[in-house]
Amino acid sequence: MILSHITKDYRGTKALDDLSLTIEEGKITAVLGESGAGKTTLLSCIMGLIPYEGEIDGVNGKKPKRREGCSYLFQDAQLLPNLTAEENVRFVLPKTLWEQTGEMLDRVGLKGKEKSYPHELSGGEKQRVSIARAFLYPHKMLLMDEPFSSLDLALKRQLMELVRTLREEEGGTVLFVTHDVHEAAFLAQRALVLHRGKLIGEVDIDAPYPRDLLSPPKEARELVRLLLETGENK
């Protein structure tokens, strides 16, 4: 996906400032930046939720249309409270895929919880339901906005590994937004660093998987350096 000269102005606040970048197909890309850098705005432009100046894959953003072929994962699992785990997954799927729900819930570690309601599930289990749903929904690109931010460290590591292995098995492009260097270094093959709506760094992370949170890939230092620099220039 090619984004060229994307600018988003919220009545005087330039959330994205003439941003051009490429998101490589079949890879996991992190969009990294401090709070207010423009990360969520960038996802909203890609999703086609808000108008913007510039073009994505040659189509201008004046009258955006909701992008097809995308699946989503957010910080909050966004489950319907009156539906079971299984029903929450099926809710967004065509009927032809319903029979795969059980197997996918098993793969994300929820065997035996298919009939549980969200209030009967822990935070991590709820997020597993939403990971199962995001992967079963037919997509070419998975867009994730801070999906691991509210999880404790051990759970974060487990769910990042889950997303990584599911993507490896299922294919597709993953784009995820985070303010956390460790998440980017653990999961991404490429990190795009945003600051004040501009791209200030592109870092390829070639370390093999599975990665270790205790000894992050060497590229993490470059990401820390970029974030510290921008933090001091706020």
Residues of the shown chain interacting with ligand ADP in the complex, contacts defined by CB under 6 A: 10, 13, 15, 33, 35-41
Amino acid identity at 118: P
Compute the least distance from the CB of residue 141 to ligand ADP, in Å.
Answer: 18
Compare residues 172 and 197 and give the one whose CB is closer to ligand ADP.
197
Compare residues 15 and 132 and give the one whose CB is closer to ligand ADP.
15
Q: Tokens standing for 103?
A: 């197997």
Compare residues 36 and 102 and give the one whose CB is closer to ligand ADP.
36
Q: What's the chain look like in SS3?
A: CEEEEEEEEECCEEEEEEEEEECCCCCEEEEECCCCCCHHHHHHHHHCCCCCEEEECCEECCCCCCCCCEEEEECCCCCCCCCCHHHHHHCCCCHHHHHHHHHHHHHCCCCCCCCCCHHHCCHHHHHHHHHHHHHHCCCCEEEEECCCCCCCHHHHHHHHHHHHHHHHHHCCEEEEEECCHHHHHHHCCEEEEEECCEEEEEEECCCCCCCCCCCCCCHHHHHHHHHHHHHHCC
Compute the least distance from the CB of residue 33 to ligand ADP, in Å.
Answer: 5
Compute the least distance from the CB of residue 12 to ligand ADP, in Å.
Answer: 9
Compute the least distance from the CB of residue 130 to ligand ADP, in Å.
Answer: 19
Compare residues 15 and 46 and give the one whose CB is closer to ligand ADP.
15
Compare residues 44 and 101 and give the one whose CB is closer to ligand ADP.
44
Q: Tokens standing for 227?
A: 């974030």
Compare residues 41 and 84 and give the one whose CB is closer to ligand ADP.
41
Compute the least distance from the CB of residue 193 to ligand ADP, in Å.
Answer: 11
Compute the least distance from the CB of residue 73 to ligand ADP, in Å.
Answer: 15
